[in-house]
């Protein structure tokens, strides 16, 4: 069974197959519906666009008073903190103000922003959070991967053994089949590269090309350098293969900044990095 729905600002596709003892078609349909419901919940909790999402409540109020959030939002923030520290601050979700300034996220009533990074997020008991500065978080670099992982977990809990969840290019496969994985060429979209085969793992790809535009006469994209806050405008694509999609998704944002596949944290997370440059001939892989 293969289904697709518009969620998380993209198309989420779920393909699920039964076990050897064949779970009934009705049960398979229920499993896929439940997996979509998990993705929809992540969308509602972590959307920058929805004014009532956990994320918008944090961005509006956490600099003034502690804000309690859903356990899944708290789980994403814990993973974001782990990735922030492991990458020496290169994975930084505190880019909401920067992306709004570039017109890549809607301007909200968050009040005047302050400079700061993810270290301004204070973790309090009971899934409550406070900000030490008026930062704005954007979970666009990690929530999609988290949603894919949740969908896979739901499918597994429903007895599904072979499945694929693809959220607009960030995907995870489950099961005993090694699946061929293609990567779309960043500048020649009709070209797909057969990158390898993947079993029980995830791959995510980011490219500045997807959000490339001109802001005040300068090129911009939604991928930012954590240190300079300047947009990355390289016509390449950055892919990371990892055991979970949340790690794969987040590490693509780091790979786009460092442009090298041998950073020690890739191995620490069990990940492989891969860069497809604009020119189709010169490829780096590790």
- Cβ-based nearer residue to another protein, 6 or 111: 6
- Cβ-based nearer residue to another protein, 119 or 211: 211
Shortest Å, Cβ 73 to another protein: 21
Burial zone of 147 (CB within 10 Å; 0-12 exposed, 13-18 middle, 19+ buried) = buried
Q: Report d(CA 130, CA 119) in Å as an integer.
A: 11
CA angle 53, 151, 172 (to 5 degrees): 115
Sites of contact with another protein (CB under 8 A): 2-7, 9-11, 15, 29, 144, 164, 166-171, 173, 178-186, 189-207, 209-210, 237, 239, 241-243, 270, 272, 274, 280, 283, 285-286
Shortest Å, Cβ 274 to another protein: 6
CB 55 within 8 A of CB 47: yes
CB 25 within 8 A of CB 13: no
Whole-number Cα distances in Å, 100 to 94, 96, 252: 12, 6, 21
Shortest Å, Cβ 96 to another protein: 18
Shortest Å, Cβ 29 to another protein: 7
Give the containing element (helix H, strand E) for 252. helix 245-258
- Cβ-based nearer residue to another protein, 134 or 144: 144
CB 90 within 8 A of CB 258: yes
- Cβ-based nearer residue to another protein, 194 or 214: 194
- Cβ-based nearer residue to another protein, 119 or 179: 179
Shortest Å, Cβ 81 to another protein: 23
């Amino acid at each position: 069974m293969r289904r697709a729905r518009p969620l998380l600002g993209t198309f989420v596709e779920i393909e699920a197959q039964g076990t050897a003892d064949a779970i009934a078609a009705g049960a398979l349909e229920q499993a896929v519906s439940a997996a979509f419901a998990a993705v929809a919940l992540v969308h509602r909790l972590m959307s920058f666009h929805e004014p009532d999402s956990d994320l918008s409540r944090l961005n509006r109020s956490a600099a003034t008073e502690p804000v309690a959030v859903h356990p899944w939002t708290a789980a994403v923030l814990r993973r974001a903190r782990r990735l922030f520290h492991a990458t020496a601050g290169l994975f930084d979700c505190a880019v909401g103000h920067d992306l709004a300034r570039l017109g890549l996220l809607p301007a909200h009533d968050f009040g005047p922003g302050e400079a700061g990074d993810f270290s301004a997020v204070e973790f309090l008991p009971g899934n409550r959070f406070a900000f030490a500065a008026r930062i704005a978080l954007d979970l666009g670099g990690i929530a999609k991967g988290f949603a894919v992982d949740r969908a896979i977990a739901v499918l597994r809990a429903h007895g599904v053994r072979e499945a694929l969840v693809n959220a607009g290019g960030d995907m995870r496969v489950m099961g005993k089949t090694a699946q061929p994985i293609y990567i779309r060429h960043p500048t020649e979209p009709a070209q797909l590269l057969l990158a390898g085969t993947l079993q029980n793992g995830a791959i995510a790809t980011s490219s500045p090309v997807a959000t490339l535009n001109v802001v005040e006469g300068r090129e911009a994209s939604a991928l930012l350098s954590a240190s300079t806050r300047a947009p990355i405008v390289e016509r390449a694509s950055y892919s990371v293969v990892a055991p979970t999609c949340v790690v794969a998704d987040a590490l693509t944002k780091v790979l786009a900044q460092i442009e090298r596949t041998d950073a020690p944290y890739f191995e620490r997370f069990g990940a492989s990095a891969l860069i497809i440059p604009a020119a189709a001939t010169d490829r780096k892989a590790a």
